A and B are shown apart, each in its own frame.
Chain A
Amino acid sequence: QQQVKQSPQSLIVQKGGIPIINCAYENTAFDYFPWYQQFPGKGPALLIAIRPDVSEKKEGRFTISFNKSAKQFSLHIMDSQPGDSATYFCAASTGNQFYFGTGTSLTVIP
């Protein structure tokens, strides 16, 4: 059973667009929700993370929106650039176990 459901599987946007990646979870015990960026041949790199006591967090061009009641969270990438083309994973954690979404392959067209 997939603990974290991520969509879409792939996404293509024009440079400057705002891609949005969504994740949903069921386990209310999750208390940490990070997003990772992975380039081909590399390990995932922590991008931004949020705890359930806030509804939004921004770091540079990356924003997490968190809806605790709906058990959903999403990643927005402002003014997307070709260099943002990568696979993005959401995750949820209880503090010990981490559960990752299935990933979204983002392509930003120049």
Chain B
Amino acid sequence: DSGVTQTPKHLITATGQRVTLRCSPRSGDLSVYWYQQSLDQGLQFLIQYYNGEERAKGNILERFSAQQFPDLHSELNLSSLELGDSALYFCASSVASGYEQYFGPGTRLTVT
């Protein structure tokens, strides 16, 4: 158990819908990272927050957004969902940028 929690574990929704994925980092970790893992794309970095501020952006679509709240939990919002958005979404946390990342168990999103 990494200490990072993610909810929900599974999510099934229809195309065009909007969902919110939630992540709570390990106690004491200030950085939160979001990743998308699909069979054909591997593990793709989406976005990083550090202590509430956006720190780095990766391959995040404009339909996706994220934020980190004062209590350091983070949410990833996915809108206008498409079939291709079906994937595992992982959150990871670290003490600060450039440090070891600890991954949560993931949220499996299925868009039908």
Contacts of A89 in B (CB 8 A): 42-43
With contacts A97-B45, A97-B48 taken as known, whether A44 is within 8 angstroms of B98 at the C-beta atoms is no
Give residues of chain A (54-100) contacting chain B, Cβ–Cβ below 8 Å: 89, 93-100
A45 is an interface residue with CB less than 8 A from chain B: yes
Q: What is the CA–CA distance of A9 and B106 in the complex, to the nearest angstrom?
A: 23
Give residues of chain B (90-112) contacting chain A, Cβ–Cβ below 8 Å: 90, 92, 97-98, 100-106
Contacts of B35 in A (CB 8 A): 100
Establish whether residues A98 and B103, one from each chain, have CB atoms under 8 Å apart when the complex forms: no
Establish whether residues A95 and B103, one from each chain, have CB atoms under 8 Å apart when the complex forms: no
Establish whether residues B48 and A44, one from each chain, have CB atoms under 8 Å apart when the complex forms: no
B96 to chain A, nearest CB (A): 9
Q: Is the interface of B mostly helix, strand, loop or mixed?
A: strand
Give residues of chain B (31-49) contacting chain A, Cβ–Cβ below 8 Å: 33, 35, 42-45, 48
Contacts of A44 in B (CB 8 A): 43, 90, 103
A34 is an interface residue with CB less than 8 A from chain B: yes
Contacts of A32 in B (CB 8 A): 98
Contacts of A99 in B (CB 8 A): 45
Establish whether residues A102 and B42, one from each chain, have CB atoms under 8 Å apart when the complex forms: yes
Establish whether residues A46 and B48, one from each chain, have CB atoms under 8 Å apart when the complex forms: no
A31 is an interface residue with CB less than 8 A from chain B: yes
Contacts of B100 in A (CB 8 A): 34, 46, 49
Establish whether residues A98 and B102, one from each chain, have CB atoms under 8 Å apart when the complex forms: no
B18 is an interface residue with CB less than 8 A from chain A: no
Residues of A within 8 A of B (CB): 31-32, 34, 36, 42-46, 49, 89, 93-103
In the complex, besides A43-B4, A43-B92, A96-B98, 7 extra interface pairs with C-beta distance below 8 angstroms are: A89-B42, A93-B98, A95-B98, A96-B48, A97-B58, A99-B45, A100-B45
